[in-house]
């Protein structure tokens, strides 16, 4: 039986190297033959490979690194949690978690489906149970065993039955349109200390989510150096990685200059960067910036003014901003900002506070409401699916069709031609 690591993966490269005999010399021709046609090596070829155990061990280690990067960080974290739950459940019944017995997996998902919360409602959604099976399959496959347990004839019918029994309808958050975003910004105390510091940050976050159509994870991951102000286009936002770009090819999202200072994302970026440049400076400098900001009705464009200096600080100028610094950072009740990431949950919480302050029911919205609002507003204004996808980076037209169905039921609908 194969020995498992603590990660639940196949034997390590060191174990592989120690098991390979070393007797003869391997030249490039033999190595190429092994890669292209390993079955044709024969016994002698395998013995030849043994002389390069260290090289093979290094390749095995590199392969494990590549495997680790095959999943996004969020998926890997979720799978690790699900795997730990599966291992703990198996130990209760004296069962081996690996290789996973399809019959035990069948019973496990049945138990997950039966767990209730304090209100007597199912604790785990069907999609969460399906993810648990995917996690078990992932670790099973990594060890060289069955990797499609969700399709096994003993497991698949149970999963389908759970999904049908639950019949969980999707309940998307409502979209925040342009007027909504303007209301949220207008309700902030931009020229009061220390509230104005958070207002400057949150105004930029709103425009990144709405006009940039960025996902919450993309906004949270942005660094100072990921945004530059183009004199013709406005903001150029460099996405290092996204949900539909797991290979990390990257993309640029442009947010144009606004005709009104209130709706001008480059102005919002400029105001926040001016505050950001004072991170290590005296609090009085940030206070002065905030008190001079004024309220939206009094704003003028600041996007054409002197840009902040972004570069590696050398100590000579405390206002030089490190491009590796997180773009959006926490602000405490004293108006001080810290150089650490404002994560997705914090972004959602900040939006919730802005919604409540503007008189909205925050339970009906989330940060994704900004991205949904972009699609909805653009489609209402006549944008084509292709034009919308160019900004949202959706992988296909199908998701745009979902937005049309859920939020624009009258678009391309014959009911509008009845003469009512």
Question: Does 294 map to a domain?
Answer: yes
Same domain, 331 and 282: yes
pLDDT in tens, 373-409: 999 999 999 899 999 999 999 888 888 887 776 777 8
pLDDT band at 76 (very low <50, low <70, confident <90, very high): confident
pLDDT in tens, 87-137: 999 999 999 999 999 999 999 999 999 998 888 888 898 889 999 999 999
Same domain, 55 and 97: no
pLDDT band at 63 (very low <50, low <70, confident <90, very high): confident
Given a cut of 60, is residue 22 above it in pLDDT? no
CATH code for position 120 = 1.10.150.130
Q: Which residues pair with 239 in a beta bridge?
A: 251
Most confident stretch, 283-297, 305-319, 343-357: 343-357
| Of 30, 11, 25, 20, residue with least CA distance to 53 | 20
Q: Which residues of 138-160 are buried (b: 16+ CB within 10 A; e: fewer)?
A: bbbebbeebeebbebeebbebbe
Same domain, 126 and 195: no
pLDDT in tens, 156-208: 999 999 988 877 565 678 999 999 999 999 999 999 999 999 999 999 999 99
Same domain, 339 and 195: yes
User: Count of CB atoms within 10 A of residue 173's CB?
Assistant: 16
Confidence (pLDDT) at 56 = 79
Q: CA 285 → CA 28, 198, 269, 280, 299, distances in Å?
A: 65, 15, 18, 10, 20
Which residues, 6 or more positions from 212, have their beta carbon under 8 angstroms from its beta carbon?
Answer: 219, 235, 237, 253, 255, 265, 374, 391
Question: Does 263 map to a domain?
Answer: yes
Number of domains in the chain: 3
Same domain, 253 and 124: no
Question: Does 209 map to a domain?
Answer: yes
Chain position carrying tokens 């002389």: 51
Question: Does 391 map to a domain?
Answer: no
3-class DSSP state for residue 372?
helix
Distance (Å, rounded) from C-alpha 35 to C-alpha 78? 34
Q: Which residues of 398-409 are buried (b: 16+ CB within 10 A; e: fewer)?
A: ebbeebbeebee
Which residues span the domain enclosing 23?
13-68
Distance (Å, rounded) from C-alpha 111 to C-alpha 123? 11
Q: Can you say how many angstroms the Cα of residue 274 is from the centroid of all Cα atoms in its chain?
A: 27
């Amino acid at each position: 039986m194969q020995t498992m690591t603590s990660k639940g993966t196949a034997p390590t490269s060191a174990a592989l190297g120690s098991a390979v005999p070393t007797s003869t010399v391997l030249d490039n021709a033999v190595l190429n033959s092994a890669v292209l046609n390993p079955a044709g090596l024969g016994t002698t070829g395998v013995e030849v490979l043994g002389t390069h155990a260290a090289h093979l061990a290094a390749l095995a280690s590199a392969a494990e690194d590549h495997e680790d990067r095959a999943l996004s960080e969020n998926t890997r974290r979720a799978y690790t949690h699900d795997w730990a739950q599966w291992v703990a459940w198996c130990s209760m019944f004296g069962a081996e978690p690996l290789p996973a017995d399809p019959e035990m997996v069948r019973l496990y998902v049945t138990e997950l489906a039966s767990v209730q919360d304090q209100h007597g409602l199912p604790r785990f959604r069907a999609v969460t149970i399906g993810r648990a099976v995917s996690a078990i399959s992932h670790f099973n496959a990594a060890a060289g065993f069955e990797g499609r347990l969700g399709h096994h004839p003993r497991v698949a019918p149970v999963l389908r039955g759970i999904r049908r029994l639950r019949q969980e309808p999707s309940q998307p958050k409502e979209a925040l349109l342009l007027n909504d975003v303007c209301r949220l910004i207008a309700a902030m105390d931009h020229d009061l200390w220390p509230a104005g510091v958070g207002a400057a940050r949150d105004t930029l976050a709103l425009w990144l989510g709405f006009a940039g159509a960025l996902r919450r994870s993309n906004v949270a991951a942005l660094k100072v150096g990921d945004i530059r102000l183009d004199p013709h286009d406005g903001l150029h936002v460099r996405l290092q990685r996204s949900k539909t770009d797991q290979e990390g090819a990257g993309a640029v999202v442009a947010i144009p200059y606004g005709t009104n200072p209130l709706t001008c994302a480059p102005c919002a970026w400029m105001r926040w960067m001016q505050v950001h440049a004072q991170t290590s400076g005296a609090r009085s400098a940030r206070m002065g910036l905030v008190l001079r900001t004024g309220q939206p009705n009094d704003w003028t464009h600041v996007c054409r003014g002197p840009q902040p200096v972004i570069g590696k600080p050398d100590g000579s100028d405390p206002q030089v901003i490190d491009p590796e610094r997180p773009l959006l950072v926490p602000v405490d009740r004293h108006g001080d900002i810290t150089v650490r990431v404002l994560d997705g949950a914090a972004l959602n919480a900040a939006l919730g506070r802005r919604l409540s302050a503007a008189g909205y029911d925050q339970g009906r919205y989330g940060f994704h409401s900004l991205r949904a609002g972009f699609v909805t507003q653009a489609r209402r204004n006549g944008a084509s699916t292709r034009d919308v996808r160019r900004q949202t980076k959706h992988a296909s037209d199908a998701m745009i069709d979902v937005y049309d169905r859920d939020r624009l039921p009258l678009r391309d609908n014959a009911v509008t031609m009845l003469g009512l």
